[in-house]
Amino acid sequence: MSSIALLGFTDAESERLAAGLSALDSSLKLVKFAADTSKDELSANVEGALIWGAGTGMAGPSGMVHAAADAGVPVVVVLPAVTLDGINATSPRIEVCFLPCTAEEVRIRLNLAMSRNAPTEAPNTIIHGELVIDCDRYEVVLKGRKVDLTYKEYELLKYLASNPNRVFSRESLLRSVWEYDYFGGTRTVDVHIRRLRSKIDDVSNHFIETQWNVGYRFRSSGGST
C-alpha cells in the first residue's frame, strides 16, 4: 500500500475527488497533512503527494509543490485554472492536472510520477541520495567518491541505512552490529557514530541523527538539519 499525502484538501470538491480516488484504487492510503508540513516529514512518511491548488491559500501551491518534490516525493498538483503559476512542470517529480478532472486522470498522473521516481537500485545496493552502499563489494561511495571505512563503521552504516528513519538504542546497535564482540559498553557506539559522521556528513548531508536519550537513526532524505 502506498501512502499519499493530501495537501490543501479543505472543500467539498476536493473531498469528492479524494473519495473517488480512494474508491478507484484501494492500494492507496490517502492521509491529510497540514499545508505547512515540512519536506522532511513528507519524505519520512509518504510515497507521493496530491496537492489541491485551490486550497493552498493566497501563497498558492508552487512552494508546497517544490518543497515536496525537493524532498524526493512524487507530486500531482490539481490546479483550478490553466496556469502553472510558478510550478516547474518539466520536473520529473511533478505532474499537473487542471480542473475539471476525474479521479481516473489523477490516478494516471500519480502513476506516472511515481513510476519515474521508482528506485533503480542495483541488486544488493542501498542508495540514499548521493550515498551508495555496495553490499557485495563492501564499498561506500558519496558524491562519486569512495569513502574509507573500517569494517565496523561499514557494518554500522549498512545496518542503519537498511532501516531508514527507525530509531535504534545504543544497546540494540551493540547487539545487532557487534553481537558479543565488543568492549567498552555503549560508548563504543558513540565513538563509531562520531567517526562515521566525520566521514559522510558535510554541510549538505546529515545522514545520522541523534535521538536524545534514546539512540540514533538514519535519515532517509540525507538532507541538512
* Structure confidence by residue, pLDDT tens digits, 2-38: 788 888 888 899 899 999 999 988 888 898 888 777 7
pLDDT digits (tens, 9 = 90+) for 145-187: 899 999 999 999 999 999 998 999 998 898 888 876 555 677 8
**Reported confidence tier of residue 225, pLDDT bands at 50, 70, 90:** very low
Q: Is 223 within a domain?
A: no
* Domain-ending residue, one of 116, 136, 155: 116
Handedness of CA 29, 121, 206, 162 (dihedral sign): positive
- Overall average pLDDT of the 84-100 stretch: 80
pTM: 0.51
pLDDT digits (tens, 9 = 90+) for 196-214: 999 998 767 789 999 888 8
Residues 108 and 138 in one domain: no
Residues above pLDDT 90, as percent of the chain: 25
Residues 90 and 140 in one domain: no
Q: What are the C-alpha distances in Å from 30 to residues 41, 49, 90, 102, 136?
A: 15, 9, 25, 16, 37
What residues make up the domain containing 146?
125-218
Identify the CA nearest to 216 among candidates 168, 148, 173.
168
CATH of the domain at 204: 1.10.10.10
Residues 92 and 135 in one domain: no
